[in-house]
Chains A and B, each alone.
Chain A
Amino acid sequence: MEPLLEVKNITKKFGGLTAVDNVSMQIFPGEVIGILGDNGAGKSTLIKVISGVYHAEAGQIFYEGRRIKISNPTEALKIGIETIYQDLALAENMNVYSNIFLGREKLKKFLGLVDVLDHDYMHSESKKVLNRLDINIPSLKNKISTLSGGERQAVAISRSIYWNAKLLIMDEPTAALGVAEQKKVLNLVKTLSSQGVSIFIISHQIHDVFSVATRLLIMRRGKKVAERITKKTSADEVVGLIVGSILGEYN
């Protein structure tokens, strides 16, 4: 099987600081990979290179076998790479369906002249995708600011699924959630994976990552220090790799 995404020798610097140092990795369709590491290990920078927020100084990205250049987030979205950010990237002052369609609003002709927003269409389409993912939100006309953390997460994920994400990047998806809601999000990850969506999960919560990811990628000081099959490693080993008390194969 061909990897959905492969990055080779990615390096990203901020001034004198090398945030990501010569990292290579690949992800297959439907695979869930956990990216682990301490603060400042370069996890977020790495995924921001993939999602088009940052430009790498060196390295190549291959997507479905083709070499690509992702110059901005819009280009990443177009080819099916969606990111669920730590701050969720939802406009809290806007309602659920407006957020699901944010940046890609459905338009219709008004009086045959002006392109205006097609609220009915966006509302009903949003309803459909939420139902498909078994997500319950009282009214899609509610502003995001009235929703719980888990509901916001669900909206952000539904949005990417609606737009046919093939690769989902989740940055600390469970960080701000209660225990019950964390479970729901992790179940959602499993559902998505079974539907063929590839997922990168970045998290400090090793336990969460262990419960959903099949493969783990450990970063330290900008470098990828180790790669492990989840079933063939332990939380202790992974913690050791993260803090550097155990040396990985790439150290």
Chain B
Amino acid sequence: MKNLQFKNIIRQYGILFGLTGLIIVFSLLSKQFFTISNMLIVMRQTSIVAFLGVGMTFVILGAGIDLSVGSVLAFSGAVAAGVIQKEGVFLGILAGLALGVILGAFSGLVIAKLKIPAFIVTLAMMAMARGGTLVYTEGRPITGLPSSFAFLGRGYIGNIPFPIILTLIIFILAYIILKLTRFGRYVYATGGNINAARASGIKVDNIIISNFTISGFLSGLTGIVLASRLNSAQPTAGMGYELDAIAAVVLGGTNLFGGEGELWGTLVGAFIMGILNNGLNMLNVSSFYQQVVKGIVILIAVTVAQSGKK
């Protein structure tokens, strides 16, 4: 029994030990690592994966998966940048967010109503949205964005970069939705036992569609923030980000098959990915090896999480 409790603690909070361990190791190896300014840089980088990770947490808790977030991000960022040039910042941001919502809702609709696996539908959406981005941008970056658009990605409130504050706001809102509201319960119920949820009168189709819409919205938001930070919309933006987002969710202890997991875990997972990137950069580890290290860390984390289960 004690052993079981110990295993549960490892499973739930092991990620925090992992994070602390990584910070200690990097601090010992590099003097500049554990400084306020560097930590703020890490968090700002982390915010991109965190936005996507929050949306991905909804989707995965509901027993889905969203492979399209990187492409939707690029498409939304491009359309936002395009509209900003013609119609101004406000309408541009609105257009980018709306596109994310529409693409996410479309995926969710197909998954819920046509009963096609999320993996396939979002794989198709990944291709379509990337293609759409290339068509829209004609394969070239969209540059020349007004300085008023820079705040989202590069602005500060006090000493704190705005993307970090945005991460906090999104996290708190998502936490309230997931933990305190009826909708949040239904996300867990749908992911845990979809038949039980349906038999209890829960409209599971709506829950699935909402999850993918949330993921789409946050992908759109990420695309806009990224375009603001880079002062341009790149047609290749967000490539491979879906894997970072999934990795953050899984690192955070969420069950890949739905129903179990915590939002804060995703945030910590995203932060670990950020720390790894930043720390390895500071140690001048080649980016080729960084990929290898990331893979190993994910494998170790998931193995530890698994060992906590029966």
Residues of A within 8 A of B (CB): 53, 72-74, 77, 83, 85, 87-94, 98, 102-105, 107, 110, 114-117
CB <8 Å contact, B185 and A117: yes
A73 to B197, alpha carbons, bound, how many Å? 11
Contacts of B157 in A (CB 8 A): none
B195 contacts the other chain (CB 8 A) = yes
Q: Taking A93-B193, A110-B180 as contacts, is the C-beta distance between A103 and B260 under 8 angstroms?
A: no
| Sample of 26 A–B contacts (CB below 8 Å) | A73-B198, A85-B195, A87-B195, A87-B196, A89-B195, A89-B199, A89-B200, A90-B196, A92-B193, A93-B193, A93-B259, A94-B185, A94-B189, A94-B192, A98-B185, A102-B185, A102-B200, A103-B189, A103-B197, A103-B201, A104-B200, A105-B185, A107-B182, A110-B176, A110-B180, A114-B181
Question: Nearest-CB distance from A82 to chain B (Å)?
Answer: 10
Contacts of B188 in A (CB 8 A): 91, 93-94
Indicate which residue in A87, A94, A102, A117 contacts B181 across the interface (CB closer than 8 Å).
A117
A110 to B222, alpha carbons, bound, how many Å? 29
Indicate which residue in B176, B181, B193 contacts A91 across the interface (CB closer than 8 Å).
B193
Indicate which residue in A77, A88, A102, A110 contacts B197 across the interface (CB closer than 8 Å).
A102
CB <8 Å contact, B181 and A115: yes
CB <8 Å contact, B193 and A103: no
State the total of A-B contacts with C-beta under 8 angstroms. 74
Contacts of B195 in A (CB 8 A): 85, 87, 89
Indicate which residue in A89, A91, A115 contacts B182 across the interface (CB closer than 8 Å).
A115
A93 to B196, alpha carbons, bound, how many Å? 11
Residues of B within 8 A of A (CB): 176, 180-182, 185, 188-189, 191-193, 195-202, 259-260
A107 to B186, alpha carbons, bound, how many Å? 14
Q: Taking A93-B188, A105-B182, A116-B180 as contacts, is the C-beta distance between A77 and B193 under 8 angstroms?
A: no
Contacts of A73 in B (CB 8 A): 198-201
Question: Nearest-CB distance from B235 to chain A (Å)?
Answer: 40
Indicate which residue in A77, A85, A93, A117 contacts B201 across the interface (CB closer than 8 Å).
A77
CB <8 Å contact, A104 and B199: no
Contacts of A83 in B (CB 8 A): 199
A53 to B196, alpha carbons, bound, how many Å? 12
Contacts of B201 in A (CB 8 A): 72-74, 77, 103-104
Name, among B182, B199, B200, the residue most crowded by chain A CB atoms within 10 Å (CB to CB).
B199
A103 to B181, alpha carbons, bound, how many Å? 12
Question: Nearest-CB distance from B126 to chain A (Å)?
Answer: 28
A117 to B181, alpha carbons, bound, how many Å? 6
Name, among B176, B182, B195, B260, the residue most crowded by chain A CB atoms within 10 Å (CB to CB).
B182
Question: Nearest-CB distance from A232 to chain B (Å)?
Answer: 36
CB <8 Å contact, B182 and A85: no
Question: Nearest-CB distance from A163 to chain B (Å)?
Answer: 10
Contacts of B181 in A (CB 8 A): 114-117
Contacts of B199 in A (CB 8 A): 53, 73, 83, 85, 89
Question: Nearest-CB distance from B227 to chain A (Å)?
Answer: 32
A232 to B76, alpha carbons, bound, how many Å? 73
Apart from the given pairs A91-B193, A102-B197, A104-B201, 8 other A-B contacts in the complex at a CB distance below 8 Å: A87-B193, A89-B196, A93-B188, A93-B260, A98-B185, A104-B200, A114-B176, A114-B180
CB <8 Å contact, A91 and B180: no
CB <8 Å contact, A102 and B182: no
Name, among A87, A89, A107, A110, the residue most crowded by chain B CB atoms within 10 Å (CB to CB).
A89
Contacts of B193 in A (CB 8 A): 87, 89-93
Q: Taking A116-B181, A117-B180 as contacts, is the C-beta distance between A91 and B198 under 8 angstroms?
A: no
